[in-house]
Amino acid sequence: MRKILKRHPMWPLIIPALILLYFVYVSLGWNVWVSVSDWRTGSLTASYGWGGFGAYVKMFQSEYFGSSLLNTLLLFSLIPLCLLLGLGLALLMDQGLRGTTLFRNLVLLPFALSFVVTGTVWAWMYRPSNGVLNSFLALFNIDTSGLMWTSSNDTVMLSIILALVWQFSGYVAVIFLAGIKSVPQNVINAAMLDGAYSPRIYRKLIIPQLKGAMGSCVTILAMYALRSFDFIVSLVGYTKSAAWTLPVWMYQEAFQKNNFALAAAISCFLLALVLVLILPLTYWTNKRT
């Protein structure tokens, strides 16, 4: 053992990583096998015999598959909204106005909160009778009697997206601000000596340098859009099918209906979706930067 450590002194440092990878891939393989097992629907008794692809057939034929997939993809609207709002906030904070430090902390505060806390707070704000949003709209003589933010199937996804944009925009703004500050000041001074005015410097010089920051933000936002669960459950609950994304539907099938094979099939489909959408995005980001 001592000889091995002398030849390879770095081995003890990577053992924790190897253990973690073992549990990750073993769990992943177990989940795939459960999705094709003969585990009976609604049964708590595990069965790991070969059952074919019946769970996948049930998944694609389910009435919730299309709506859950659509809701998951709708969350991708977070990306352009957060990027635009975050870029605007970053440009504002870069002006060096008085109180910028306090403003930056306030902007970043929502991202520091737990998704459970944020979902609970926004659920209070969305209350039809005494919620903050309806009370604010009532100040402008807007009829809010029929405005049910999280109860109506027409507005529930809009409510989720609006709250998530509030939570993630500050994080995007801080990342963009760090990218703006990384542009060498001598380059900016040289552009100003050449007669470039401030908006043109931002448009032609600074913003093109934010490709790396933008790529990182897009990847993080896309990953959360695909694995959203805790925030939606805290805001809406898990019984309203109009707000189900794939993770929420998977939870409903596994822990409310005991359909573990179907839930495993949903998780495998979600994994495939992550690979199809996130891997090309990560490659594009690394290539562009």
Res 161: pLDDT: 93
The whole-number pLDDT of residue 286 equals 63
Residue 128, C-beta contacts closer than 8 angstroms, at least 6 positions apart: 134, 144, 147, 148, 149, 151
- What b/e string do you get for 203-228 counting C-beta neighbours within 10 Å, with b at 16 or more? eeebbeebeebbbbbbbbbbebbbeb
The CB density around residue 85, as the number of other CB atoms within 10 Å, is 17
Tell me which DSSP letter residue 211 carries.
H
Gap between the Cα atoms of 46 and 231, Å rounded = 30
pTM of the model: 0.86
Binned at pLDDT 50, 70 and 90, residue 194 comes out as low
Residue 139 or 2, more confident: 139
pLDDT at position 288: 54
pLDDT band at 1 (very low <50, low <70, confident <90, very high): low
Q: What are phi and psi of 117, to 5 degrees?
A: -65, -45
The span from the CA of 222 to the CA of 228, in Å, is 10
Q: Alpha-carbon distance 226 to 71, whole Å?
A: 10
Q: Taking 60 as the threshold, does the pLDDT of residue 289 lie above it?
A: no
* Average pLDDT of the segment spanning 5-14: 64
Residue 168 pLDDT level (bands cut at 50, 70, 90): very high
Nearest to 229 by CA among 219, 244, 218: 244
DSSP 97-144: -TTHHHHHHHHHHHHHS-HHHHHHHHHHHT-TTT-HHHHHHHTTT---
Options 1.10.3720.10, 3.40.50.2300, 1.10.260.40, 3.40.50.1220; CATH for 62-288 is 1.10.3720.10
Question: DSSP letter string over 9-52?
Answer: TTHHHHHHHHHHHHHHHHHHHHHHHHHTB-PPTT--S---SB-T
Distance CA 248, CA 237 (A): 9
Question: Within 10 A of 122 (CB to CB), how many other CB atoms are there?
Answer: 25
What is the DSSP annotation of 73-92?
A: HHGGGHHHHHHHHHHHHHHH
Interval 50-92: pLDDT, tens? 888 989 999 999 999 999 999 999 999 999 999 999 999 998 8
Give me the pLDDT at residue 197, please.
Answer: 62
Summarised one tens digit per residue, pLDDT across range 196-227 is 667 777 777 778 888 888 888 888 898 888 88
Mean pLDDT taken over the chain: 84
Residue 285 pLDDT exceeds 80? no
Domain ranges of the chain: 62-288
